[in-house]
A and B are shown apart, each in its own frame.
Chain A
């Protein structure tokens, strides 16, 4: 059903934008055939460059008024049909990046290519992207039907009947048929979001751009729409860039995640890679909930010293070779909380500040002797109480190591050992 409908729109669109038809069929059809994959040195599977890359940003920079840099030399390529999540704290340049792809803003330098063709200087409409906004941005004076059909009305010479059919079809896909004659002010946030999605898919875009589409929804609805958007994206097989500040959305939705900070890409990788092998301190702390504990230390002969000391065992010592200042990173779920310090160097004495039971596990917030606070996640109940003296064991094979000055990762724990740790226990 959906496929038929897509094909139909493409035919009519191609007759209007002949320049669009270049390479179009090749990229479209790849959604249904198994793509050839090659493995790049980054360890990420990639389709062959020519037809596989649907959207490519190279060295895209955006500065405002010569002073503020919103995006700096951002390069990323997105495979056909892939869902890439741009995630980062507010003001990191992710929405600006999205607007540059859409053509709402022009980059100061760099290139944006859609289906292999540079789209710089092209009007948004000619780029064949569709966008969904955080505040939905439905036209307030139009019904849902008019909202969804507006783009077709403006850019195509389809007859009223044809537009009506397209709108109905999109509405069916999103289950908003009963809402078609309602105006936005009479709809709930979730309904408006669906209509906004309908307005986006009806145009059969090459690239689907979503700017924090779920941020205005309540938690339950957000979780549901998260799944629905994923399903929709898979069904349509449309290349998607999804912007969010919510790392849960990033982790659960993306084929790959691009973590942005201060206008620069920190890491582009599948979500679990960002979690297990963060490229730097920023990613390490941004991804994961609660975020990774970090302890800044100096590299000594046989131990790392600082507010707390930790033995410099291999492979940590190896990784820290030639670096003065390191930061040890440890995920809350990798810390073992023991009733008391057993005197081992890897077990640090601490005092429990707060325990937070969150259902299947509990968070223990504690202050190490020496100052720094850490958070540990333990299965089930906490087993300890506030003001208890405990020992926190930081298993050496579960530690990440970062260069404090550059923030770059020096060492990651083995992912197998993580699987083992979580497995039978």
Chain B
């Protein structure tokens, strides 16, 4: 559809039509055609949306539904999303098993981990964005390279290193791992935000008497706040639900176990307690959902600004 084509609500086509009656039917016909085509396209898009939503939301709904079913109804046929009756016994079971401890542990690890990631990556991103130093590009490349390595691949050497350092079965060990593994990506993301802030702000701050750290603290931190929010939320989600590293480092130290290990505990050698797994998963999901809803505004704003500001 081209720009000069008349719209159905405009006055121009009517005028044209009276002037050239022979063309009127053709024009109206074409107009109707475009409207119909538009409707069809719209409908198709909404169907796609619906499919995508079902695809992403259905598992979550299923988990919620499973956690609320009475024992034995889980695999009933035909499949029903709404259970015939609500049962909270699975939740009782999960609470008895110590879900509160897991939540506390996950919260601690997440706060310390994300805090650590920010403490390292914000100054590092600032330096990569603003300081001219020898090997800056090379170092940035190496940082990116580390991001390419999946932690699962290096889990065996990591285990040895943690063992040597005496960090196995400690929360500090797990937090340090998270900081180390998530920092490269966070640096890259934040550097992008720092790069969008004009360097004249740094100049002005230095002339106004700030040293480098004060420049960061008083002048640059606010303009890059959306980026910090994005990095914070992203890492919160990752750290909260991380399983492999937590399981490897914390091992049998059950008082330190996080929620993801807790969920895993309901898988047994002879069968999985799906109701309990579902209930623990729901409890594990809730804090993130709450945090995300609370910070959604910043999250979206941060993503948008990061790409547009310049």
Chain A positions within 8 Å of B, measured between CB atoms, are 99, 102-104, 123-125, 129-131, 133-135, 137-141, 150-151, 154-155, 199, 203
Contacts and interface: CB of A to CB of B under 8 A. Distances in A.
Interface string B194-205: 000010110111
A154 B222 contact: no
B283 to A, nearest CB: 38
A156 to B, nearest CB: 9
Contact of A137 (B200, B209, B222): B200
A154 B222 CA distance: 17
Name the residue in A102, A123, A125, A137 with the highest tally of chain B Cβ atoms < 10 Å from its Cβ: A137
Contacts of B211: 123
B3 interface: no
A302 to B, nearest CB: 58
B201 A137 contact: yes
A125 B214 CA distance: 13
A157 to B, nearest CB: 12
B203 A151 contact: no
A140 B221 CA distance: 11
B130 to A, nearest CB: 12
A125 B215 CA distance: 13
B176 to A, nearest CB: 33
B16 to A, nearest CB: 40
A99 B208 contact: no
B286 interface: no
A131 B223 contact: no
B223 A155 contact: no
A406 B205 CA distance: 43
A102 B209 contact: no
Contact of A151 (B200, B201, B207, B223): B207
A155 B211 CA distance: 11
A130 B207 contact: yes
**Chain B contact residues: helix, strand, loop or mixed:** helix
B185 to A, nearest CB: 26
B301 to A, nearest CB: 14
Interface residues of B, number: 17
B206 A125 contact: yes
Contacts of B209: 124-125, 151, 154-155
A133 B205 CA distance: 12
B208 A104 contact: no
A135 B198 contact: yes
B199 to A, nearest CB: 9
A199 B209 CA distance: 12
Contacts of B208: 125, 150-151, 154-155, 199, 203
Contacts of B207: 102-104, 124-125, 129-131, 151
A239 B204 CA distance: 19
Name the residue in B200, B208, B209, B219 with the highest tally of chain A Cβ atoms < 10 Å from its Cβ: B208
Given A123-B206, A154-B214, A155-B208, A139 B219 contact: yes
Name the residue in A102, A129, A131, A138 with the highest tally of chain B Cβ atoms < 10 Å from its Cβ: A131
Nearest to B211: A123
Contact of A131 (B203, B210, B218): B203
B203 A141 contact: no
12 contacts: A102-B207, A103-B206, A104-B206, A130-B207, A133-B204, A135-B198, A137-B200, A137-B203, A139-B201, A139-B219, A141-B222, A199-B204
A140 B210 contact: no
Contact of B203 (A102, A154, A199): A102
B204 A139 contact: yes
CB-CB nearest 4 A-B residue pairs: A155-B209, A151-B208, A137-B200, A154-B209
A141 B220 CA distance: 10
Contacts of A104: 203, 206-207
Given A133-B200, A137-B201, A141-B223, A154 B206 contact: no
